[in-house]
Structure 1
Amino acid sequence: MFDPTAFDNIKFMIQAEVYDRDLAGLFHVHSRKDLVDLATLSRESVITFSLKDSADLRVSLVVKADLEKLAGELLPSSNALPGVSLHILYFGTERSLMAERMDLLEWMWGTERRYERKKIDSDQTGTTYEWHVYFERIITEEMMDELGDLISFIGESLRTVTETE
Structure 2
Amino acid sequence: MFDPTVFENLKVVAEGAFYDLDLDGELAVIDRHDLVDLAHMSRKFEIIARLNADKEKDVECTFTLSASMSAFAEEKLIAFTKRNPGCTLKFMFRFINPEHPLRIIHILKQTWDKGHQYRVLKHMPIGHNRDETYVTIEIEREKLIYEEDVSLLQTYVQQIQHILSAGM
The two structures have a TM-score, normalised by structure 2, of 0.86
Deviation at 1:46, TM superposition (A): 0.2
Task: Provide closer, same or farther for how the CA distance between residues 65 and 96 of structure 1 changes in structure 2, counting only shifts above 3 A.
Answer: farther
Q: CA RMSD in A?
A: 2.2
Match of 1:135 in 2: 141
**Residue identity opposite 2:37 in structure 1:** D
Q: CA offsets, 1:94-123, max 9 Å, x none?
A: 137744333322333243321111112235
Aligned length: 162
Task: Provide closer, same or farther for how the CA distance between residues 98 and 8 of structure 1 changes in structure 2, counting only shifts above 3 A.
Answer: same
Question: Is 2:83 aligned against 1:77?
Answer: no
Match of 1:33 in 2: 33
Contact between 1:116 and 1:131, CA under 8 Å: does it hold in 2? Answer: yes
Corresponding residue SS for 1:77: helix
Percent identity of the aligned residues? 28
Contact between 2:29 and 2:53, CA under 8 Å: does it hold in 1? Answer: no
Corresponding residue SS for 1:58: strand
Match of 1:21 in 2: 21
Whole-Å Cα distance in 1 between the matches of residues 162 and 19 of structure 2?
16
Match of 1:120 in 2: 123
Match of 1:8 in 2: 8
Match of 1:145 in 2: 151
Task: Provide closer, same or farther for how the CA distance between residues 63 and 146 of structure 1 changes in structure 2, counting only shifts above 3 A.
Answer: same
| 1:89-104 aligned within 5 A | 89-95=92-98, 98-104=101-107
Contact between 1:108 and 1:157, CA under 8 Å: does it hold in 2? Answer: no
Task: Specify every segment of 5 or more residues in structure 2 that has no aligned partner in the other structure, as ranges.
Answer: none
Q: Which has the higher strand share?
A: 1
Bigger shift: 150-159 or 14-23?
150-159
Q: CA offsets, 1:68-103, max 9 Å, x none?
A: 111110124335431111001111211377443333
The two structures have a TM-score, normalised by structure 1, of 0.87
